[in-house]
Amino acid sequence: NQDLDKYYDLKQKVDSKKSFEGFLYLQFNSAFRAFKSIREEVNLTLSWPMPPAMVNAAYEPTQNSITIPAGILKTPFFDSQRPAVLNYGAIGLVVGHEMTHGFDDEGSQFDLKGNLKNWWTKEIHEKFDEKANCFITEYSAEYVPEVKMHLNGKNTVGENIADNGGMRESYRAFQAYVQKHGQPKRLPHVWCSLWRPEALKTQIEYNPHSPGKYRVNVPVSNFKAFSDAYKCGPQTRMNRKDKCILW
């Protein structure tokens, strides 16, 4: 591909024996491409926010685009040979999460072409803020006993909205699958992590994502389909009385 060859063309060779100098040059080359593109039309084919081997996904509001690298399209997130229900509960949730970012506290500020533009009415903004505040209050009430701290609901509101919305969107897509192929017993939800106390404290204080445990337990406790499927009693921890719902 000539475009890719041109994009990654280096003006000088990188000496494999001089790793630090090579790193600085690659950083310079990356910055040079970024500044050079300021007055150019955006090439969405080449404007990837992450390398293809990375196990991650992203929504880019300035391009109104979702990136799903090849690295995440494998177990445990995706496997074409396993039951579809596992894929909907894993990569389906990831895709739904990134879609919801287009309509969270940040993505909602950009229009369909990625321009910073207020395209919502005053009434929509007020309703959105009301529902978003529900998530802020809800997550801020979550206590993490390992570090004796509460979650930062305000700092994580965008990701929490995306976690809750992504789960619902994946479930809606799964229901369309069920209409054609029948109902499996359960819909899984994939998110697993293990934290040292110091790392967990840093995560709560500075990271826009809630810790993995709360990215699973809080969204499903807001989800009636979950409490119905698992027979969670009314007003229990996994079946909240006041459920936060946005999308």
Positions marked active-site = 98, 163
Question: What φ, ψ does residue 49 adopt, rounded to 5°?
Answer: -80, -5
Nearest to 223 by CA among 183, 169, 178: 169
- With vertex at residue 20, the alpha carbon angle to CA 16 and CA 22, rounded to the nearest 5 degrees, is 50
171 token code pair: 């479930």
Question: What φ, ψ does residue 149 adopt, rounded to 5°?
Answer: -135, 155
Question: What φ, ψ does residue 110 adopt, rounded to 5°?
Answer: -115, 140
Q: Are 229 and 186 spatial neighbours (Cβ–Cβ below 8 Å)?
A: yes
* β-bridge partners, 129: none
- Its sign, for the CA torsion 98, 100, 102, 104, is negative
Pairing of strands 58-60, 65-67: antiparallel
Pairing of strands 143-144, 58-60: unpaired
- Its sign, for the CA torsion 116, 120, 122, 123, is negative
159 token code pair: 């990701």
